[in-house]
Amino acid sequence: MDAIDTHLLDLLQLDAGRTLLDLGEQVGLSPSAVQRRIARYRKEGLITRQVAVLDPHRLGSAVLALILVTLVQESFEHHRAFADRMRSEPQVQQCYRVAGPWDYAVILAARSTRDCSRLGDRLFKSDDNIRRYETLVVFDTVKTGLAFSLLDVERQV
């Protein structure tokens, strides 16, 4: 991967909807050269999918919550079952297995606090293998993103 790849991938992470012409102007390539690189990224699995990111607050009321979860039993099968359940729930935006006193951090998106409470009860309260869970309602979104910067940290300073 060269410097152009790094720059192009960073640009695509910020806005994959940019035109090939715009991307090419940013990285110094023709639109067709940009298109070939993007096709290569997809073929190599660097780009796994493209999505539209919606602002939930512009769609009406939305509640985000961070739920911290500790399991009772921590065998491979128990972790797999929990992870599979989180993956299958559309309102689970993100789920991370974490170190420390909690086993998982889960981000939920719901239409209201009542919906969030019901969803939490369904996902966590009814599971016999959950020792404890704590719900933290998000008041304000400071930053969201999934971009993984490819620039060297030393070059950014």
Average pLDDT over residues 72-76: 89
Helix (H) or strand (E) holding 131: strand 130-137
Architecture of domain 3-52: Orthogonal Bundle (1.10)
Q: Identify whether the C-beta of residue 28 lies closer than 8 Å to the C-beta of residue 2.
A: no
Average pLDDT over residues 70-96: 94
pLDDT band at 152 (very low <50, low <70, confident <90, very high): low
Q: Edge-to-edge strand order for the sheet containing 130-137?
A: 92-97, 104-110, 63-71, 130-137
Residue 148 DSSP SS3: coil
Average pLDDT over residues 28-54: 93
Output the pLDDT for position 90.
Answer: 93
**Rounded distance between C-alpha atoms, residue 60 and residue 74, angstroms:** 39
DSSP 39-106: HHHHHHTS-----PPP-GGGGS--EEEEEEEEES---HHHHHHHHHHHHH-TTEEEEEE-SSS-SEEE
Q: Identify whether the C-beta of residue 85 lies closer than 8 Å to the C-beta of residue 126.
A: no
**Rounded distance between C-alpha atoms, residue 40 and residue 49, angstroms:** 13
**Dmax (CA) of the chain:** 57
**Rounded distance between C-alpha atoms, residue 5 and residue 41, angstroms:** 9
- Reading the block at residue 2, the tokens are 């060269």
Architecture of domain 56-137: 2-Layer Sandwich (3.30)
For the chain, which residues make up each domain, given as ranges? 3-52, 56-137
pLDDT, tens only, 128-149: 999 999 999 999 888 887 788 7
Residue 133 DSSP SS3: strand
Average pLDDT over residues 94-101: 96
